[in-house]
Structure formats: structure tokens, C-alpha cells
Amino acid sequence: MESSKQVKLTTLRDAIATLVPDGATVAMEGFTHLIPFAAGHEIIRQGKRDLILVRMTPDVIYDQMIGVGCARKLVFSWGGNPGVGSLHRFRDAVEHGHPHPLELEEHSHAGMAARYTAGASGLPFAILRAYIGTDLAKHTEMATIRCPFTGEELAAVPALSPDVTIIHAQQADRSGNVGMWGITGVQKEAALAARTTIVTVEEVVDELSPRGPNHVVLPSWTLAAVAPVPGGAHPSYAMGYSTRDNAFYTGWDEISRDRDVFDGWVEEHILGTEDHVSYMESIGRGEGIG
């Protein structure tokens, strides 16, 4: 029952190696829930460089990728450690150019969401009522546009169509159709806006079966690769499979404050491990994964 258009299940390592070139514009989305951490670690392991990283809410995984020097530019709307505080590697890059300067392009959440929606819709831009009275308008890519019917002036933002979008989902079936539920953020739009979409999943099942609200399906023929990576969202979570590892987020503050501590942590736990299973063991979260 497979045709040429249907995605083949693959490994995360192969997907990153073959589909994520240096210099690519890469969006890794997940709104607190379902963040593709394992994929980010694999990008670090494979030493990808000069990436334009895109994400509404760059959090710890982007802090890690920025800290090791994967990124030359960040396109975002809110960069923090949710519920904890600053992203120290992100701040070090912006405030002190370490490990190298990081170009920024920032929007509001509404602007980023509209940009992805335009990308998913095949439109070159989106309109929204945004940025009114702010200094953001001067520091971001936007234009104003007048309603041809009412004369109201609105914001226009360019469509966002990443070279590669990477997301994590709960399930794939054996044909590579992907199902996710709960808080799905902007993932559907980010996946449909991209030229190439990679999905890591908790589980491969015979039939997609939501165990929560807001079920979203991405058919296999819109995807480039699907890789089973159980626990691949850790320390984020996958509703129905895992809970958020809040202790990891809190602990990250300490690890990321100091350049050397951070470098050592990456060396030991990411570069020093082969894959997500051995990574989880190395950080002491091996139970129940893999």
C-alpha cells in the first residue's frame, strides 16, 4: 500500500544527515508541548552550521544549538526558559557575540503565526492588526497595507516558508501519516509551509488514535521523513506519553549560565552520545525510554 509519494519511516540520524544542509532555514516548532529536542541534539551531533533558526518560542533546545554555534540568525517572537527565566546562551550570543554574533529578526507571536499561516496557504504575505504603537515595527520585516474596502491600515508580514521544518508528534501509522493532539501550537502550519518536513514520533501504530483534544493529522504525502524517537520531546512532553520534566528546565539555568559548564555538558551528553536513547541514559533519564 505504499506509493512513491508516501514517506518512508527512517531514522533520525539519516533524516538529519540527508535533509538538513548547512545554511538552511530550519524551523523546529512546539509550543512548550512536543518540542523536537532529540532532533536538535542530532543537529548538534552532526555539526550543522550557519543555520537560520526559526521558532516562535526558542527555548532550551535553541539555547543549546545557539550555544554550540549552529546558528547565524534567529527568527523568533519570545526567547526564554518558560517558567524559569533567561536563555543564557542566547543572551551571551546577542549581548557578547559568543560563540559568534547572532543576527536577530523578531516578531510578535501573532506576526509569526500569521507568517506561517501564509506559508501554509501558499500566499506571499499575511495581513493582521499588529505592532500598533510599538518599536517592533522599526526592527522587523513588515509593511503596512491599506484595506481596499474600508481604508483601514493594517500590518503585512512576509510568508514564512522554511527550507526544513522539524516537529515531534505522538503517533505515525505504518504509511507515515502523523497524528498529534493537545497543544499543537503552530506545528501544522510550520509543517505545511516548509519545503521539507521531518517528524519524530513517540510511537508507530496501526491506526492513528487520539487520546486527547484537538487532533491534527499530517498526511504522509506532505512529509519528507518520519522517524520513531520515543521520548524525543524530553524535557518537553508528549500528551498521553510523558509529562514535562520541569526539574530539567530549572536545572538548565545553572548549566547554561557558564560557558565552560555548558561546553562540558554538551561534550558529555550530546557529542558524547550516539543517539537519543544513550543521551537519555547519560542525563539520568534512561528509564522507560527506548
Partner 1 sequence: MAELQPAPSSYSSDEMMTVTAARFLSDGQVCFVGIGLPSEAANLARLSHAPNVVLIYESGTIGTRPDVLPLSIGDGELAEKAEFVVGVPEVFAYWLQAGRIDVGFLSAAQIDRFGNLNSTVVGEYEAPKVRLPGAGGAPEIATSAGEVIVMLRHSVRAFVPSVDFVTSVGFGRGGEGRPEGAGRGPTVVITDLGVLRPDESSNELTLVATHPGVSGEEVRVKTGWDLEVAPDLAVTDPPTDQELEILRDLKTRTEAAHSG
31 counts as binding partner 1 under rule CB under 8 A:
yes
Q: How far, in Å, CA of 27 to CA of 24, rounded?
A: 10
222 counts as binding partner 1 under rule CB under 8 A:
yes
Residue ranges in 116-155 that form contacts with partner 1 under rule CB under 8 A: 116-117, 120-123, 128-136, 139
152 counts as binding its own copies under rule CB under 8 A:
yes
Side-chain half-sphere of 21: how many Cα atoms within 13 Å?
A: 6
- Position 279: which residue type? Y
Contact 20, 43 (CB under 8 A): yes
* Listed ranges 39-47, 138-146, 162-170, 272-280: which one lies at the site for its own copies (CB under 8 A): 138-146
Choose the contact partner of 145 out of its own copies, partner 1, none; CB within 5 to 8 A by kind: its own copies
Which of 123, 247 has the CB closer to its own copies? Answer: 123
239 counts as binding partner 1 under rule CB under 8 A:
yes
| Number of neighbouring beta carbons within 10 Å of residue 74 | 23
CB of residue 127 to its own copies, shortest distance in Å: 6
* Category of 19 on φ-ψ map: left (φ > 0), alpha (ψ -120 to 50) or beta: alpha
Candidate list 3, 135, 149, 284; residue touching its own copies; CB under 8 A:
149
Report the b/e string of 33-58 with b at 16+ CB within 10 A. bbbbbbbbbbbbbeebeebbbbbbbb
288 counts as binding partner 1 under rule CB under 8 A:
no
Residue ranges in 63-82 that form contacts with partner 1 under rule CB under 8 A: 76-80, 82
261 counts as binding its own copies under rule CB under 8 A:
no
Q: How far, in Å, CA of 169 to CA of 201, rounded?
A: 5
Q: How far, in Å, CA of 198 to CA of 27, rounded?
A: 10
Candidate list 9, 24, 205, 217; residue touching partner 1; CB under 8 A:
217
143 counts as binding its own copies under rule CB under 8 A:
yes
Choose the contact partner of 64 out of its own copies, partner 1, none; CB within 5 to 8 A by kind: none
